[in-house]
Structure 1
Amino acid sequence: MYPKNTILLIDDDTSLHDLCRAILARMGYKCISAFNGVEGLEKIREHHPDLILLDLMMPDMDGEQVYQELISNAEYQAYKDIPVIMLTAISHDEERENKMLKLGVSAYLNKPFGLNELVNVIKNVFVTHEIRLHNKRLQEEITSAKQYLERLIDNAPVGVLSSDAKGNIVQVNSFFVNLMGVESVDKLWGQNILEGKVIGRKDVCERFRQVLETGTAVKIPTIDIHNRQGRRINVNINCVPLKDENGNISGLLSIWEDVTEAEKRAYELNILRQIGQAMQSVLELDPLLHLILTSITAGCALGFSRAMILLVNEQKKVLEGKMGVGPTSLEEALEIWDKLAKEHSNLEVFLEKYGLKLPNRNDRFDQIVKKVSVPLDQDWDVLIKTIREKRPFKIENAASNSMVSPEFQQAFDMEEFATAPLIAKNRVVGIVVADNKFSNFPLQPDRIKLLSLFASQAGLAIENAETYRKLEDKVAQLNRAYQQLQEAHEKLLRSERLATVGKMAAHIAHEIRNPLTAIGGFARAILREPQDIENVKLGGKIISREVNRLEKILANVLDFTKISQPFKQQHDINAIIEEVIQLNKPVMHERNISCNIQLHSSLPPAWVDEEQIKQALVNILVNSIHSIHHQGKISVSTDLVDEQVLIEISDNGAGMTKETLENMFNPFFTTKSGGTGLGMAVTQRIIEEHGGEIQVESEKGKGTTFRIFIPLTVPPETVPESITKIVNNEPR
C-alpha cells in the first residue's frame, strides 16, 4: 500500500520528526523531513508534498519567512496552494497568528500538542483544503463561463441591448455600439431606452415599454434608424422580456440585426431588374444606348453625373464614342438637377419619360463623345485595358494618371472616373465611362460594382440590338430576293404558260386537222353531187362522226384546263375504290379480266375531293383495262404508309416502253388510236392538288403498276407571305 498523502515536516527539533513520522506512518501518510527553512523549500520543490507542517521559530530562516517565500516567489508558483499547518511554541501571539491565517496558513497548532490533536488537525486541514480547492475550481469555472458569455455576446454578429425593469441600460455589446455610431460603451451607461435618446425613434421606445409592461415578446422588422453619426441604417429588432426566479419582469433583452447591406443589395437588384425590363423592350440601337445612359445618370438609379458609351469597331480597329449623356458645366448640371428634383419621379416613370428620348443634335457633351476614337492597339490606355482585361477600372487624379490619354482628359476634364466593360457572350462589345463631375461625390466601390453589374446587362442588350439590326438587314435582303424570285417565278410561269399554250395549240391543231379534212372533203363531195342520195348519206354519216370526234377532243381539252381546286372532305378511300371497280366490272367481264381486291381493313378516312379521286382512279383503271388485249388480271390494294394512304393498281397487260413511261404524264401524249393524251395528265394534276404523289413502274410485255400516295391530313395552304413576319410576328 502506498501512503495516501505526503506530508513535509520542516522543524529544527529532531525528536519531533521521529515522533511525527511514527504517528503519520501509522495513519497511512508518508512523512518527509527538513530541519531548516532552506532545506524545507528544497524539499517542497523536490517532492511537491500534499501538506506542510512548518515550525514558526527556526534559526536563520523562520517559518514566517519560509511561508512568505512560498507564496510570493514566482519559482514556487506551482506550490503556493499546498496547505500549511504552522507549529509554534509561542502562546498568546494572536496578532501574528491572525496575520499568518490571513496570508493563507490553513491552521495553527501550539506546542506541545497531543498526537490525536495533530492527526485531527491534519484531517481537518485536508478536508478544508479539498473544499477550498473545489470552491476555487467552481469559481474559476464560473469566471471562465462568465468571460466566455461576455466574449460571446461582445463578439456576436448582432447587436445586443439589455435593460432592467425600468429601462435602464444594463448591457450592450460592441456590435450595438458600432451600429449606433456611439464612441464607446461608457456613453450608453445610465441612459434609459424608454426615453428615445438612445434609439431616436419613439415608436421603438413604445414597443420596448410594451415588453416591460406586458411581458410579451415583440418583433420589429426592417425599420430605418439614423445613428449618432447620422448614418441611415436598416435593422430587424427582436425583443423578449427577462424574468426572475419568481416570474417577475426584471428587464428586457433585444437583438439587433443589421440588414442595411441586404436592403441595399435588394434595392440595387430591383433597380437592375427594372432597367433590364425596360431594355428588353428596346431593339433599336440608338434608343437603347440612350436608355442605358439615362439609367446610369438617373438619381433614382445609379446616380452618376455623366456617362458615355464607346463601342468596338472591328473593321476600323478602334473604340468609337457612340453617345453621351450629362452636363458640360456646373450651371447646366444645377439646372437639370433642380428640374428633376421638382418632378419626384420614381425609376419607372423616369425611364418612361426620359429613357427613349435621343440626345439633342446640338447636345455638346454628346457631340464631344462622338469624336472619341481610340485605336484598339493602344494597350496602355485605360479604355483599351477595360476591354482587354474585361474588368472595371477606377481612375483617380486623371490629369496625372499615365493610363489616361491627354486628349481624353482635355476633352472631358475629369478628376476621377470609372470604366466598365460591356460584355455579351464573353465578348466585349464596348465600354461605359461614368463620373461625378460637378456633384463632387466620390466614386464609392459599391457604385462602381453596381455599374459593372449593369454594364453586363447592357452589353447583352446592345448585342441583341446589333443582332436585331443585322436580322433586319438580312430580312430586307431576303424580301428583296423574295420579290425578285417572285417576279422571276411569274415570268417563268408566263413563259411556261405560253409554251404550254403553244404546245396545246399545236396538238389541238394536229388533232382536229384530220376530222376537219374529212369533213371538208365529204362536204365538197356532197356539194358536187347533191343528187347522189347514197353518197350524201355516206358523207353526212362521216361528217357527223368526225364532228362528234371534234367535240370529244374539245371536251377533253376543256376538262384539262378547268380542273378546279379540290373540295376536300373526309372520305373512305376503300369505298371510293369499290365504287370505281363496280362501274368498270361490265367492261372487265366482257374482256375476260379478273380483278383481285385487297383493301386495308383499318384504313382511316382521308381528306379528299371524292369526285376528283374517282376520276383519277377511273383513268388509271381504264388504262389498265385497255392494256390487256386478251384474258388478264388486275390487282387493286390499299395500305397505310407513313401517315399516307397507298393505292396500288397493277395489271399484267402489255406494259410500256421506256419512252412511253417518260412521257405518259405529258399533255396530249398518247399511244392510243383516237386518244387525246390528256387522261394521265389530268390524273397527275388531281393527285398533286391533293398533296400526293403518283408513281409508275412498267416493263414492255410484263404489265404496269401505279402507286398513288395521298396524305391523311389536310395539307396546309401555301399562300406566300412576307418574310417580315419573322421579325414583326404579324401579317403585313
Structure 2
Amino acid sequence: MVKLIPSSKKHKDQAPAHLLGDDEIIAIIDDSREILILLESYLKSQNLNSASASTAEGLFQILESSKVALVLLDIGLPDRDGNEILIEIVEKYPDLGIIMVTGTTDLQVALDCLRKGADDYLTKPVNIEQFYHTVFQTLKKRRMAIENRLFQHALELTNSRMSFLHRLNLRMNSTYLNVIELNQVLQAILLGITSEEGLQFNRAFLALFDEAQTMLQGTLAIGPGKREDAGRVWNEIRDRKLKLQDLFNTIETDASSSDIIVNEIVRSIVVPASEIDHPFIHACNHRKSIHVEHGQALIEIPHHLIETLGEDSFVIVPLFSPRRSLGVLIADNFVTRKNISEEEITALEIFAAQASLAIEHSHLYSDMQSKIDELELVTQELERSKDQLVEAERYSALGHMSAQLVHAIRNPVTSIGGTSRLLSKRTSDPAQHKFLEIIKREANKIEATLADLFSFVSDAELRKERQPLFPLLRRSVMIFYGTMKKNNISYEIDLQGDDPELNIDTDKIRQVFLHLIRNGIEAMEQGGNLHVSAHREGNSVEVSFRDSGSGMLNGDLDKATDPFYTTKTYGTGMGLTLVEQILEQHNATFSLSQHDGPGMCARIVFQT
C-alpha cells in the first residue's frame, strides 16, 4: 500500500483554497486506488474540491465536465502513457496546472516532463509537506499567469481605446464637423462601445435633443436586433478581423440589415424635455449616469421604457457641454446578460465625453457657418440694394418736396387763378382783360405741373409678379445686420409654415420693409430686440415688425401716417405715408399699434 509521509507542520496560514476560482477543482489521476483516496481526503481537509480517475479516459471526462484548475497526473496509467497525455492537455488547456506523479526517481524523467509543459514533479511515496508546497506553488503560479494575461489583455484594450479616442480627437481637431461627418463620428463611437476591442457592450443607443432643446429624440443605434442574430453578427465581424482602429474606414458599411430593429427602437424614443422625471431627462438635468439593474435604479424606471428597449438592465450616460445638455447614450448587454460593472460605466462615460465634444464641435461649426452665411447674405444684399436705399431716400425727399409744393403753393395759385377768372368776366377794358388772361393761363400751368409732380410720386406704375415672401423678409433684415450689431440690437426672424407667394412689386414691398425695419431700429437708441414674423391666416398673410423701443403716445399714434408728421429730431415725416400708399396699391392693410411692454408693432396684411 502506498502511504503519504506525514509532516508535523500545519498549513492554516497558507491555505491554497483562495487560489481556486468558483467551481474549480483539482483532478487526481492515478492507477492506485489507495493514492486516490488518500489525496482526495487530504485535499478535502484543506477545503479543496477534487475529482479522481484511474485512467486517461476518466481524465478527459473530468476535463470536459468540470472546471479543472490543477491535474495530478500519474505517468504510468493503464490505458495511455502519461507523457503523451501531458503533451495533449498542455496544448488544449493552456490555463491548466499540471503536476506529474510517479514512483521513479529518475531526474531525466522529471526534466523531460518539465520540458513538455508540466509545472512540477512529485515522486512516491509523497511527503505531505512537499505535496502541499507543490500544490500551493503550482496554483499560485497558475493564478499569477492568468492574472498577468488578463492584466496584459486589459492594458492592450486600454491602449486600443486610448488610441481610438486619440484618433477621434485628431478627426475633430483636423476639420470642422458638418452634419454628415458628425454622424460618422457618432457611429464610430457607438461601434467602439460595442466592439470586441472596445467596451464590449452588446448594444448602444444615442438620443439627442432637438435644436430648441424641447424634445429628446432617438438618433443612432448599433447592435444585434435579436438575441439569436448576435452570434452570426459577431462571427462576421471576427471573420473580417476588424480592429478598433479600422472603424473609421468601415462605419458606412457596418450598418448592416441586422441593425434595422435597433434603429427602429431608437427612432421610437421621443421624450419631451418637460418630463423631468423620465430617466433620460433626469440623467441630462443632473449630469449623472443612471445604472438600471433588473428594472431597478435610484429613480423610478418606467415599464414602457423597459418594453421599448427589450431589456431591463442597462446604463444611461448623459451627454453635455458647459452650456447645455446634448442627449444620452444607452448601453446594455442584451445578448450575454452580463452584469455592467462600475469600471465599464466609467469607460462608457469617457466615450460619452468624446461624443459630447463631437456634438458640441459640430454645433459650434454650424453656428459659425450660420454667422458666415448671414454676413455673406448681408454683403450680397447690400450690394444689390444700395441703389434702392439711395432711391428710397430720394423718393422720400421728392415726396416731401411734392407735398410741400402742393400744400404751400397750390392754394395761393388757385386763389390767383380764380380771382383772375372772376375779374376777366367783369372788366370790359381790353388791356386789363389781356393781362388777366395771362395770369389765368400761367396759374393753370402751375396747377397742372403740381398735379403731374404729385402723380409721379404717388401713382408710379407697379411691376407685379408672384414672389416668395420669406426670402424677401430675410434679405431686408440682413441689410441692417451691421447697424443692429453696432447698436446692440438683437433680432429674431420667425417665419411660420410654408413660404407664401404674393403678387407684388418686389422693389416697392422691399422699400416698405426697409422703412419699417429702419423705424424700429431708430426707436431703440439704447439697444433692444427687433422681432420680425410672418404667417398665413386663411386667405391672408400677416407680416409684423415689433421693436422694444420707446414707443409713441396715443396722440402721436393717430397722426403717424400723416404727411410731414414726425417725432424725430431729424426726418421728413414722409416714411409711413409712403408705406401706406404703396400698400394701398397692393390692396394690403397697414396698422401701427403699441404692443404689450415697450415698443411698437407694425402689421401688414396681404391678401393671397
Q: TM-score, normalised by structure 1?
A: 0.33
Bigger radius of gyration: 1
Point out which structure has higher relative CO (alpha carbons under 8 A, 6+ apart): 2
Q: TM-score, normalised by structure 2?
A: 0.38
